[in-house]
């Protein structure tokens, strides 16, 4: 699970990453 959270910061290409409220959701999607 830690790896997923770390990926959110690297997924700057995704427009949903701007939402810090649901960063994990971006990975799940």
Predicted TM-score (pTM) of the model is 0.14
Residue range 4-23: mean pLDDT, rounded: 57
Q: What is the pLDDT of residue 15?
A: 57
Residues 1-19 have a mean pLDDT of: 56
Please write down the HEC assignment for all residues of the chain.
Answer: CHHHHHHHHHCCCCHHHHCCCCHHHHHHC
pLDDT at 10: 57
Share of the chain above pLDDT 90, in %: 0
pLDDT band (50, 70, 90) for residue 20 = low
Domain boundaries of the chain, sorted by first residue: 1-29
What is the predicted pLDDT for the residue at 16? Answer: 56
């Amino acid at each position: 699970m830690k790896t997923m959270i770390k990926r959110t910061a690297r997924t700057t290409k995704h427009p949903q990453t701007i939402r810090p409220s649901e960063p994990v959701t971006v990975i799940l999607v």
